[in-house]
Amino acid sequence: MNTDPTLRKKVEKWLEEAYETDDDRACEELAVKVLSVSPDNPEALLLLAEVFQGDEGEYRDRLRHVLKVLDRPEKDWISLLSEGCLPEWLKAASLQRLSFSLLGDENCGEEELAEALLLSEELVKNDPDGQTLGRLLHYGALLRLRRYREALKETMKDGADSPERAYTKALASFRLSGPCDESYQAVCSAIRVDPDLPFLMSGIWEMDDEGSEQDDKTHAMSLVFGPLLEEDEQAAAWFNTPILIFGFLTGRLPDEVARSLEPQLDEAGMGDMLKIAQGQLEALLQQDTEQDPDKLDALAADILAQMGDF
């Protein structure tokens, strides 16, 4: 362990500047400076991986190297991290980034998906408070591996009422039993948990330019669950229908999408069902003059659930 206070100050300054700069080249140069005095410093290695502009496979190898460094018993770099940085944070970040990279690649084979599953399992195990995307990545890996029964069991053990849990339950039920009430009710539950997410995830709405933790979660949901929901036309149509109807009832659909939806539902023999749902919602809203948006969402979700599997 290096105890030279002058060196520690230099390294802390370089790392602080690396985090503050928006210039990838400058960040890379600062991280290399850190590595010149603290070889295999995992914080600097992770920074280098984040600004790497090359092949995705090499990016993953860089993250794997960070994880190997963190797992070594010798830690000569431990006193040369930025202030407040903990090795467990670096490990969680590396596990999440590597698993996310694997699951975001539609061409990944079974071996790589199995690696993503192991990484996400370790991330979940070390994240009891659910501060990372571990559960989302874990569900995504199980679904990509077509381990639907195992995915369903995991949703039963999961006490957190989250969109990833609800979508996993819906997808796993759909793949095991086809269109069914259990899967349909799970879609309704996913809408209840986060009524805006389906419209951001599908691209019907655009996300804000300003990044946020919620945007990160939505982006992750889009990359992991989006392709699974759109795997085939039947699945895409079945999942999109209740989402679009909910959007129609709550005014979330852009005008052009709403206009095109009505004739499509008429053609599918669902036009009368939509009119009945609209009438029910309007009648319920007339009983309450406050017009609370959250109450509107809850009422619309209840009506959607009562409509049952189409």
- Give 189's contacts (C-beta < 8 A, 6+ positions apart): 161, 166, 169
Residue 13 CA: distances (Å) to CA of 30, 40, 67: 9, 18, 24
- The model's pLDDT over 155-192, given as tens digits with 9 standing for 90+, comes to 999 888 889 999 999 999 999 998 888 889 989 999 99
Low-confidence ranges of the chain (pLDDT < 70): 1-3, 207-215, 268, 288-291, 309-310
- Give 134's contacts (C-beta < 8 A, 6+ positions apart): 95, 96, 120, 123, 124, 127
Quote the CA–CA distance of 112 and 301 in Å, as a whole number. Answer: 38
- Phi, psi of 98, rounded to the nearest 5 degrees: -70, -45
Largest CA distance in the chain: 77
Residue 138 CA: distances (Å) to CA of 156, 197, 215, 254, 286: 14, 19, 19, 33, 44
For the chain, percent of residues with pLDDT exceeding 70: 94
- The model's pLDDT over 260-303, given as tens digits with 9 standing for 90+, comes to 877 877 776 777 777 777 787 777 777 765 667 788 888 888 88
